[in-house]
Chain A
Amino acid sequence: MPERTIRVMVAKPGLDGHDRGARILARCFRDAGFEVVYTGCHQTPEQIAAAAVQEDVDLVGLSCLSGAHRALFPRVVELLREKGAADITVIGGGIIPEQDIPLLREAGIKAVFTPGASLESIVEWINSNIKPH
């Protein structure tokens, strides 16, 4: 069986344009050998979920720095489920207070990376948790 290439999407939901982290991650994922679809800023959860399905990614990484993660992250998971794509893993990062993490995990966000997380730790998480099938 040939080995699959991991495909990930880096997406910025909401209205904040602080894409420094998202863009650094996109480059880092490419350097880690993944195929990366980047959506650009200012995406609605609907746009993100639709794109994730069209692109058949294994993982969606959401980045949000505006505090809107509580509404936006779970909505992406919900929409993927509606589209029969619950197997697409969703992770998130940005300015996310500790106290919000349980809520996000419960809503189906598989991992949350907060400021200071190293690039390697994120790549490592993906390599050990994402098995494309």
Chain B
Amino acid sequence: MYFSKETLEASEKLSRKSSDEVQKALKNHPEQKKRFSTVSDAEIKRLYTPDDIKDINFAEDIGVPGEFPYLRGNQVTGYRGRYWTFRMFSGMGSARDTNARWKMLLREGQTGLSTAFDFPTLMGYDSDSPKSLGEVGKCGVAIDTLEDFLELMEGIPLADVTTSMTINPPATILWAMYCAAADIKGVPLSRIGGTIQNDMLKEFIAQKTFMCPPEPSVKLISDTVEFGTKYVPRWNTISISGYHIREAGSTAVQELAFTLRDGIEYVEDVVRRKGLNVDDFATRLSFFFNSHSDFFEEICKMRAARRMWAKIMRDRFHAKDPRSLWLRFHTQTAGCSLTAQQPYNNVVRTTVQALAAVLGGTQSLHTNSLDEVLCLPSEHAVEIALRTQQILAEETGVANTIDPLAGSYFIESLTNEMEEKAWDYIQKIDDMGGMVAAIGKGFPQMEISEAAYRFQRQLDAGEKTMIGVNKYATDSTHPIPLVDIEEKVGEEQMRRLKDVRRKRDNKAVKKSLDDIRNACKKEDNVMPCCIEAVKNLATLQEICDVYREVYGEYRDPGLY
């Protein structure tokens, strides 16, 4: 029992007394709302007491950092050994522009790079494709060939800096470019480190950056896990992401459940398809969560995620290595919580969300810039966002002790509740035959749709609040300077592409594309052929077209 008999008795007695007092108080001063709930619409009680967590078993359910169930963190020294990685997501215009922004961030104390690609790159189209009209360089950097990539990495010490690349359908290709770049710079693959997002399931569920159907998409991911396990041991070959699920309007529990269930699907596929032992590759898996506005709910979500993954790896996959049980994750503050109205308020929102991520024990953090709801972030806005993290780490003292909220009646109770609800979802998806099958049925998509619609309705009805939007709205504006990507980035990219196509050895390109086609058909690992192809200056789209040809194209089923 977590509490002594005396404590529980006293608690019950005092709670009863308090409850009487509440009834009296309510008569004179009714509460502000009939129902208090989180941003995810989970109901929250007035008061939490020992009674809410009396069934907890301290050693099994809470424990200490660095030990199962890892509720309190993976590292025994927490942030005292090392802060989380300050990793600001950035990318804009041409490779040269982005390279300049990166160098600025490294100068200012950023400790890891994180790449945003433009939509043609994300979707596997070259800058000169008709599909790319108006999109080149807009939401991130445009990469068509290895030449662009080398320019992006110019002057970046690949052996010292870790790089995260937010790339999904063409992840094999961008990672191949990174490997090729390392090779050209004389850095061995064993020394480069970083992350490719490479999580396709959440694309079908939420973000809709997809290319091939789910089944072969998962196969390509398993290829990268296998290749990484064998040759690039410092690389996280997948970042299993709840971030986008949440941005699409899910609840915190849905984010938690769908993300972990995606993780299960990937582990199963690698074990089945590649015959690897779970302990061989478990440390290649990383996670990525959203930190939304509801402070405590977010902290509990992250704590629950760690405990659940440890259980999944131990009990479902029988992992032996303690490190296989670690859920390591990156966090980004919630883009969807930012408002275009009164944009300076976004700094405050981001600060609170970042604090939640830190108290939730994140390994790495991106803080949104105040102008991200309007455009790509300006240099000044990024600086404030980065400073927000530095202030949290070095001024506030929140990093002094590990998991400081543990033991709180409310925190532990909400953590348990969210975990339970998430297990229910996972069970449901298991019963459907797994996540690929559930996606085929539209299950996670529709659950998110319902939640998003409910929130919007609550917002419109004033039941949920967004300051500056449906409450305290003002007409006066304090305009902020916006970053504008010129249309000429597109023209420049087209010129570069034309140049590459003229000077490269087209026979070698054709041969390496044929090799990829054969690897796809024979279910071989595509990574070695991809590295060869990018070195021969095959374009991103040329390789993706091979994938589309062999695996087929996935089109939006348009569930609503």
Q: Spell out A's residues near B (CB within 8 Å).
A: 14-20, 23-24, 26-28, 38-42, 44-45, 66-72, 75, 95, 97-99, 114-116, 118-120
Q: Is B560 close to A, CB under 8 A?
A: yes
B336 to chain A: which residues have CB within 8 Å?
Answer: 20
Interface-central residue, B249, B374, B466, by most chain A CB under 10 Å: B374
Question: Of B130, B133, B247, B449, which one neighbours A68 at CB under 8 angstroms?
Answer: B133
A114 to chain B: which residues have CB within 8 Å?
Answer: 340
Can you name 9 A-B residue pairings with CB atoms under 8 Å? A15-B120, A23-B452, A40-B556, A42-B555, A45-B133, A66-B139, A68-B133, A98-B479, A115-B339
CB-based contact A14/B119 at 8 Å: yes
In the complex formed, the residue of B with least CB distance to A64 is B134
Nearest chain A CB to B116 CB, angstrom units? 12
Majority secondary structure, B binding face = loop
In the complex formed, the residue of A with least CB distance to B340 is A115
CB-based contact B373/A95 at 8 Å: yes
Task: List residues of B (8-61) whose CB comes within 8 Å of A's CBs.
Answer: none
In the complex formed, the residue of A with least CB distance to B125 is A15
CB-based contact B469/A119 at 8 Å: no
In the complex formed, the residue of B with least CB distance to A121 is B460
Nearest chain B CB to A9 CB, angstrom units? 12
CB-based contact A71/B133 at 8 Å: yes
CB-based contact A38/B558 at 8 Å: yes
CB-based contact B122/A15 at 8 Å: yes
CB-based contact B139/A16 at 8 Å: yes
CB-based contact A120/B460 at 8 Å: yes
Nearest chain A CB to B483 CB, angstrom units? 9
Nearest chain A CB to B552 CB, angstrom units? 15
CB-based contact B373/A20 at 8 Å: no
CB-based contact A67/B139 at 8 Å: yes
B482 to chain A: which residues have CB within 8 Å?
Answer: 97, 99
Q: A67-B139, A95-B375 are in contact. Are A72 and B134 (CB under 8 A)?
A: yes
CB-based contact B135/A15 at 8 Å: yes
Q: How far is the CA of A14 from the CA of B209 in the complex (A)?
A: 12
B207 to chain A: which residues have CB within 8 Å?
Answer: 17-18
Q: Is B86 close to A, CB under 8 A?
A: no
A69 to chain B: which residues have CB within 8 Å?
Answer: 134
In the complex formed, the residue of B with least CB distance to A115 is B340
CB-based contact B123/A15 at 8 Å: yes
CB-based contact B138/A26 at 8 Å: no
CB-based contact A71/B134 at 8 Å: yes
A118 to chain B: which residues have CB within 8 Å?
Answer: 459-460, 470
Nearest chain A CB to B257 CB, angstrom units? 19
Q: Is B341 close to A, CB under 8 A?
A: yes
Q: How far is the CA of A68 from the CA of B560 in the complex (A)?
A: 24
CB-based contact B453/A116 at 8 Å: no
A41 to chain B: which residues have CB within 8 Å?
Answer: 208, 556, 558
A72 to chain B: which residues have CB within 8 Å?
Answer: 133-134
Q: How large is the interface on B (under 10, 10 to 19, 20 to 34, 35 or more residues)?
A: 35 or more
B289 to chain A: which residues have CB within 8 Å?
Answer: none
Q: How far is the CA of A40 from the CA of B469 in the complex (A)?
A: 28
A23 to chain B: which residues have CB within 8 Å?
Answer: 449, 452-453, 559-560
Q: A71-B133, A72-B134 are in contact. Are A116 and B209 (CB under 8 A)?
A: no
Q: How far is the CA of A18 from the CA of B208 in the complex (A)?
A: 7
Q: Is B384 close to A, CB under 8 A?
A: no
In the complex formed, the residue of B with least CB distance to A99 is B482
Nearest chain B CB to A49 CB, angstrom units? 14
Task: List residues of B (203-222) whose CB comes within 8 Å of A's CBs.
Answer: 203, 207-210
Q: Which 3 A-B pairs have the closest CB atoms?
A: A17-B208, A71-B134, A68-B134
Nearest chain A CB to B14 CB, angstrom units? 45
A70 to chain B: which residues have CB within 8 Å?
Answer: 134, 487
Nearest chain B CB to A61 CB, angstrom units? 14
B546 to chain A: which residues have CB within 8 Å?
Answer: none
In the complex formed, the residue of A with least CB distance to B556 is A40
CB-based contact A20/B247 at 8 Å: yes
Q: How far is the CA of A120 from the CA of B466 in the complex (A)?
A: 16
Question: Of A17, A67, A98, A119, which one neighbours B460 at CB under 8 angstroms?
Answer: A119
Q: A14-B134, A71-B487 given. 14 additional CB < 8 A pairs?
A: A15-B119, A15-B135, A20-B249, A20-B336, A20-B452, A23-B449, A23-B560, A27-B453, A38-B560, A41-B556, A42-B556, A72-B134, A116-B341, A116-B468
Question: Of B131, B209, B373, B484, which one neighbours A17 at CB under 8 angstroms?
Answer: B209
Q: How far is the CA of A120 from the CA of B484 in the complex (A)?
A: 31
Q: Is B500 close to A, CB under 8 A?
A: no
A39 to chain B: which residues have CB within 8 Å?
Answer: 558
A27 to chain B: which residues have CB within 8 Å?
Answer: 449, 453, 560
Nearest chain B CB to A78 CB, angstrom units? 13
In the complex formed, the residue of A with least CB distance to B124 is A15
Q: A14-B119, A120-B460 are in contact. Are A68 and B135 (CB under 8 A)?
A: yes
Question: Of B134, B374, B456, B558, which one neighbours A95 at CB under 8 angstroms?
Answer: B374
Nearest chain B CB to A116 CB, angstrom units? 4
Q: Is B351 close to A, CB under 8 A?
A: no
Question: Of B122, B138, B469, B479, which one neighbours A116 at CB under 8 angstroms?
Answer: B469
In the complex formed, the residue of A with least CB distance to B138 is A67
Task: List residues of B (246-279) whose CB comes within 8 Å of A's CBs.
Answer: 247-249
